[in-house]
Amino acid sequence: MFKTIQASQGYRIKTVSDLTGLSTHVIRKWEERYLLLTPIREHNGYRQYSEDDIQLLMYLQWQISNGETIGQLANIGVTQLQQAMNEGPIDMPSLPPEFQPSALTTITAARRLDRKATESSVHTLVNQLGIEDSLYRVLFPVLKTIGDLWHQGRFSMTGEHLVTQAIRHQLASSLRRSHHIKNPTAILACAPDNFHEIGAMTAAMHLQNNGWNPVYLGVNSDIDLIRLACERRQGRLIVLSTVLEQPEKEFTSMIHKIKKKLLCLCPVLIGGQGALKFLSFLEEQGIMYVEHVHQLQTLRPSSLHSNLDIHNNTTTS
């Protein structure tokens, strides 16, 4: 959902501009003229903005898109704006009514940065529905709702990370409980510079349910590391998640390396928003794209090559 960056060190204005879509000129103007932001100055003079600053900028944008002016918002004051952006109502029309209370409990806990309550809420959902049903019926819609709220400045990056980490923990527990080492091995990883794990881990869960032994390597996985794991584990399939949208030069360079070092070992599937713009290029390179992660529910080792024909309408998000 979000780019993964080190919040503990703050954010320079260029990063803030990339995250919010606001120009550096506008950010400085709102800071200096309207006193809405309070960045810290590094010893070299660079501004360091906080996560709260970024959330406030997103909220200001959303309010302006709904007819407010920056002058009117500045007159309200930062304290009241922060209170409003963190306490507003949450609508979840895409969720069936029976799941809305549980979803709201999870979102509210994460919104107030209560790690224990967030983890407990996700754990309860998984216990009640099972890992797969809880993901598709509640937790994926919750993540979409959180993404929408963040773009409105009504949810923090830290809160989103609490939910994704709670889901990651449940997926990891499920994968450990159902490990079958004698099954054919599939190597799964987040591609270089990618840090969002939920899609790759969900893919691992689906493959495991279909007779595979999934080996998940984690985030930001080096291509040489993936090759080594595939060789040592005698992998019959590699699945990579690419959520981050990279410049064309960087993406094509990565794909050429994948083709050279991985495709000679076994079939390679790539999923995620980061690959959407390059489907024709992937096809030319013989690398298959997965449009929806749930389509891996049908991919069994016994019918590997026939099922891989799904590659142009088959995401590991």
- pLDDT means per 10 residues, the chain with 317 residues, are 49 93 95 92 87 95 96 94 89 88 95 96 96 95 94 94 96 82 91 94 94 94 97 96 92 96 95 93 93 86 61 40
**Whether this model's pTM surpasses 0.75:** yes
Domain contains 315: no
| Domains of the chain: total | 3
Same domain, 204 and 284: yes
Domain contains 317: no
User: For residue 288, what is the domain's CATH number?
Assistant: 3.40.50.280
**What residue type is assigned to position 284 of the chain?**
E
d(C-alpha 278, C-alpha 117), whole Å: 40
Same domain, 152 and 240: no
User: For residue 68, what is the domain's CATH number?
Assistant: 1.10.1660.10
The pLDDT value recorded for residue 91 is 87
For tokens 């930001």, the residue is 220
Domain contains 316: no
The pLDDT value recorded for residue 314 is 40
Same domain, 185 and 305: yes
d(C-alpha 113, C-alpha 86), whole Å: 11
Which residues are CB-contacts of 49 (< 8 A; sequence separation ≥ 6)? 10, 11, 12, 13, 16, 37, 39
- Phi and psi at residue 114, in whole multiples of 5°? -95, 95
Domain contains 69: yes
Range of the domain at 154: 97-174
